[in-house]
A and B are shown apart, each in its own frame.
Chain A
Amino acid sequence: MPRDSLITSENDIDVGLDLAEDEDVLASEEGHERERHRGKRRDGDREKRKREKRRRKEAHRAEEGEDEVQTRPERRERGKRKRAKNDQEAKGREKDEAEEQELEKLKEAVDDRKKLIQGLRGKPFPMKKKLVTLRESQEFVEKYEGALGKGKGRKLYAYKVMMTKKWMKFQRDFENFKTACIPWEMKIKEIESHFGSSVASYFIFLRWMYGINMILFGLTFGLVMVPEALMGRPYGSMPRKTVPRGEEASAMDFAVLWDFGGYAQYSVLFYGFYNNQRAIGWLKFRMPLSYFLVGVGTVAYSYMVVIRTMARNANESGVGDDNSFNFSWKMFTSWDYLIGNPETADNKFASITTSFKEAILEEQESHKDDNIHLTRFLRVLANFLVLCCLAGSGYLIYFVVRRSQKFALDGLENHTWWERNEVNMVMSLLGMFCPMLFDVISALENYHPRVALQWQLGRIFALFLGNLYTFIIALMDEINLKREEEKIIKFNITMWEVSLYNGTVSENSTAPSITIHPADVPRGPCWETMVGQEFVRLIISDTMTTYITLLIGDFLRAVLVRFLNYCWCWDLEAGFPSYSEFDVSGNVLGLIFNQGMIWMGAFYAPCLPALNVLRLHVSMYLQCWAVMCCNVPQERVFKASGSNNFYMAMLLVILFLSTLPAIYTIVTIPPSFDCGPFSGKNRMFDVIHETLESDFPAWFSKVFSYASNPGLVLPFILLMVLAIYYLQSTSKSYREANVELKKKLQTQNEENKRKNKRAALKAQMDLEEARKTASQTAEQQKNNNASLQDQEADEEEDFSSSQRLNHGKNGHHPPPTAGDRQLPASRAPAPRTYHHGNHGAPGYLPGFSRQSEPRMCRVPSLQRH
């Protein structure tokens, strides 16, 4: 932000330079400011001013045509000419001295201006004047800075100044260029100005996600898919790379391809296509090793990026506490300065006022706490309802997955499209509709909106997670089924091979070159490809649902509302259906879970990152368009400054939860025997062992085996844990110190405030007393017999003032505890009541003791809440 403002302001100055045609205009604009500066160099002022004027005019004329650079030599030339003329005229050193003096003065003036520019921010000028002054001074400095150097150094100095200027300009341009290079920046800024930063934060998150997926895509595409496609064995050379004979007829049908069967299944997109050949092509590319390392690397990279971003965000957010100065925060920080749309500004204004009202109400409520049982009951009821809903959705998914297995056993061809896609449909629909229900249910609970949002996010999270894990559990069942099937098939294949071999041997022993087309070879079910396919289908259906919801729920609704509004009996735009709002939390969660599925499935379907990049790209454009076209700004526009790390934390949790099943399958389940890069091995990670043994020298594998010895690994882990513990405890102590310091600052502040107030009070009291004595003397002059009451009052006045003085003494050293601080507050009203009790005339005493004292006491108590 400061960089931007700097750039614009400097640009403005450039413009201002061109615009400032004449000095007179400027002088009229801002006369006395210039006068003040000129007053410092009064002698010889007039002459110089004339010269200045001439010089400036000429310089300006030159600037109009050419560049600034060319004016400088000219000016210097003019200076020389002038000097020569002077020499001619006076032939003496006096003139030179005068010149020197003048230069000195000029330098002083320039320094003054520079100082002014630096300290301008703190000056108590109005903004307009500040701007004018800044422009003026910068112009001045720019004009005369180059002329300051002496003799030989002058040229160099001018050159240096020019170069720094150029360099700054270049830097500025480069910054602008860099900003222009950030993808979708303008779009996001526009959305931000219309919808506030919370909606924009979603898009920034989306962009960030896009970046990560680009890298994941680069890894899988560059190190797995392309090498296999270029250097691996071509399609049709092996059974695993060929569509089986039975499926050949329908392998190119769109319906089959859409389900990622047929030719799509037997391609580089899925695990099963890869061969277990150790090195492929002339590069001797270690395919299985690369496959494994890329799988591990994507996950590791994701962890690294997420954690790094979290740490950075945590640093940026600082240690602001939102709880202690509720009203001050609201007062000074609730405006979103990025809003550029009047309607959003209206909404923001309304939301700030309502938030104030709510906060005040809340403050009042917090003292009351009535009907707590009803609230508690309602909250428990709401949670119960949500749990029921979660259980219901979980059961529905389980039921559907079970049914789909039954369908799969029957043969998918016998069932309709609806039945085949039931699982994905149901999952998407539940994921879409249940959050709405949660939202409605949460109205029961009567939480503060911030808390309510967190609950809502937590519930949606639980729902998504439950659905995902139900899906995975069902998938595990299916994997086990497939492995049973695999065993049988493996046995059958050996029988088949034996019989084939026997047959050939018995028929003609001389020619064993009987070739069987790879499409005819029987093969195992390849559970890895099945898992990959499931995930790809899930992603596709999820994407489709998102887009269709967008088109129907937002676009169609907007169109209907807009055009039916002309002939409808109530106001559709402001009333019931209205335009939709952008649902930040739902969208963010959708994105996060989508990413989780990518992480889970990427190992078995290398095409997933590519698909996801595509999806994110499309959804960036589509959602940007949809937001601008058919959504309205939220009614409660809230700032998203703190939510970024919340998203990140959720992402981390999802990352962990999604790598869990992937790692579990990799570690515990043996790979299929006839498909994939690890076929024939006992476990997938054996590929590391194999590489170590065959590709590295013997000593290396020895070292590695030592290093992987539990005796070495365990102490290392222990050390790491200790280090983490140490770091955490130090950071904790730092945080505590911070809090301590903040408290100190706060108390000091309060102290100062109170001191000031007391001084003001005292001054006022003195004034009042003086006035009173004056009036009393007048009264005494008028009426000699002074009443008894007056004397009494005087005494009391003394008493109360001494009381107040006592407070003053109390306050000078910082009070150690809150209770001590409260002491004057509780004591202060006492003499006042005494006064009132004694005399029937409340107007007698000076008014301040009644008004300002309670206020003084309330200040700390308000801040403490």
Chain B
Amino acid sequence: MVSPAIALAFLPLLLTVIIKYRYYFVLLYRAVLVRTWKDCVTGLTREERAYQYVLTHATPGDPDSILDAFDVWCSKVEFISNIGPKKGKILDRLLMEQRPLTVLELGAHCGYSTVRIARSLPLGARLYSIEMDQRNAAIAEKIIRLAGFDDDTVELIVNPSDEVIPCLRSDYNLERLDFVFMDHWKKCYLPDLQMLEGSGLLGKGSMVLADNVLFPGAPKFLRYLRKSGLYEWKIHRATLEYSKGIRDGMAELVYLGIK
């Protein structure tokens, strides 16, 4: 039997682990435990609960108030991995600088980032948003309409990204994408990027912005970037949305074209 003194000697280790990884524990609690608990209690999905909250707390037709309501819900009530206000500012700035006319968004989730992008688009620009999950797409649709964006500005495509990207050119008459925002499955970043390259939709100066490349992280994606000379890229370092201590980053890629 291990003596109590030896067990006590492990106390510093325990304390260290708890203190060091407290943000991860909090995240685990909020994103997993609270979610399953609420799922069981209410019978709704997390996205539906968020939608209900936004519906009751935001002004229809005002994208800012919708985004604010989302932020409040995600930081105070439950956790949804939207892009969040801090990284959202970077996104806004890039959009303002770039003034893209055709934007592709991979992974609309429940519409937060779609609204965010559509809000800062120039006049006459069009946003194609791809979402795989039916229920999420329905909510995203509602949110987008609630924010006051019509079909001309935002087009929601309900299909997996790897099916949609090859037929973007044929089905939607797209010639060139000015801006691509990636926030779907982290494992799909690399194949989707390669698919975009292959489809020839990326032109010189097209920008790709990939969220969450450090946490949960897309290492293969980053490794590919380092090796391929096709992009001028950098990582905006920030923290994970609605959490202070977890470091995360967004990769900003500018397509240089094949020389």
Contacts and interface: CB of A to CB of B under 8 A. Distances in A.
A403 to B, nearest CB: 7
Contact of A574 (B9, B20, B219): B219
Interface string A418-457: 1100100110011001101101110000000000000000
B19 interface: yes
B215 A437 contact: no
B6 A434 contact: no
Interface string B7-21: 011111101100111
A416 B6 CA distance: 13
A396 B5 contact: yes
Contacts of A389: 12
Is chain A's interface secondary structure helix, strand, loop, or mixed overall? helix
B6 A437 contact: no
A416 to B, nearest CB: 7
A422 B6 contact: yes
Most chain B Cβ neighbours within 10 Å, of A416, A430, A569, A571 = A571
B217 interface: yes
Contact of B217 (A416, A426, A575): A575
Most chain B beta carbons < 10 A, residue from A396, A403, A439, A440:
A440
Question: A418, A429, A430, A576: which has the most chain B beta carbons within 10 Å?
Answer: A429
Given A418-B2, A440-B19, A430 B216 contact: no
Nearest to B220: A571
Interface residues of A, number: 28
Interface string B59-88: 000000000000000000000000000000
A569 B216 contact: yes
A421 to B, nearest CB: 9
Contacts of A574: 214-215, 217, 219, 222
B134 interface: no
B116 to A, nearest CB: 24
Nearest to A354: B237
Contacts of B20: 436, 440
A570 interface: yes
A814 B88 CA distance: 55
A418 B9 contact: no
Nearest to B9: A429
Contacts of B16: 433, 436-437, 439-440
Given A573-B219, A575-B215, A576-B21, A434 B8 contact: no
A426 B9 CA distance: 6
Interface string A83-96: 00000000000000
From B5, B6, B10, B11, name the one whose CB has the most chain A CB atoms within 10 angstroms: B5
A430 B9 contact: yes
B56 interface: no
Contacts, number: 73
A184 to B, nearest CB: 32
Given A433-B16, A437-B15, A576-B24, A396 B9 contact: yes
A399 interface: yes
B31 to A, nearest CB: 12
Given A396-B9, A418-B1, A422-B6, 9 more contacts: A396-B5, A418-B6, A426-B9, A433-B12, A434-B12, A571-B215, A571-B218, A574-B215, A576-B24
A569 B20 CA distance: 21
A110 interface: no
B170 interface: no
Contacts of A436: 12-13, 16, 20
Contacts of A399: 5
B216 A570 contact: yes
A576 B20 CA distance: 11
Contact of B9 (A419, A433, A576): A433
13 contacts: A396-B5, A416-B1, A425-B9, A429-B6, A434-B12, A440-B16, A571-B218, A571-B219, A573-B217, A575-B214, A575-B216, A575-B217, A576-B21
A715 B219 CA distance: 72
Contacts of B21: 576
B33 to A, nearest CB: 16
Contacts of B24: 576
Interface of A: 389, 393, 396, 399-400, 403, 416, 418-419, 422, 425-426, 429-430, 433-434, 436-437, 439-441, 569-571, 573-576
A419 B216 contact: no
B34 to A, nearest CB: 18
Contacts of B13: 433, 436-437
A591 B3 CA distance: 28
A348 to B, nearest CB: 16
A433 B6 CA distance: 12
Nearest to B5: A400
B201 to A, nearest CB: 27
A569 B24 CA distance: 14
B12 A571 contact: no
Contacts of A440: 15-16, 19-20
Contacts of B19: 437, 440-441
B30 interface: no
B37 to A, nearest CB: 20
B140 to A, nearest CB: 23
A429 B21 CA distance: 21
A575 B2 CA distance: 34
B99 interface: no
> Closest 3 CB pairs between A and B?
A571-B217, A429-B9, A570-B216
Given A416-B1, A436-B16, A426 B6 contact: yes
B215 A570 contact: yes
A572 to B, nearest CB: 9
A436 B13 CA distance: 7
B176 interface: no
Contacts of A441: 19
A434 B10 CA distance: 9
Nearest to A444: B19
Interface in B5-57: 5-6, 8-13, 15-16, 19-21, 24
B126 interface: no
Contacts of B15: 437, 440
Contacts of B12: 389, 393, 430, 433-434, 436-437
B10 A429 contact: yes
B219 to A, nearest CB: 5
A425 B216 contact: no
B139 to A, nearest CB: 23
A576 B6 CA distance: 28
Nearest to B217: A571
B119 interface: no
Contacts of B216: 569-571, 575
B142 interface: no
B217 A570 contact: yes
A76 to B, nearest CB: 57
A121 to B, nearest CB: 36
B180 to A, nearest CB: 21
Interface string B211-245: 00011111100100000000000000000000000
Contacts of B3: 418-419, 422
A400 B2 CA distance: 13
A571 B9 contact: no
A115 B104 CA distance: 66
B145 interface: no
A396 B5 CA distance: 7
A418 B2 CA distance: 6
A280 B215 CA distance: 72
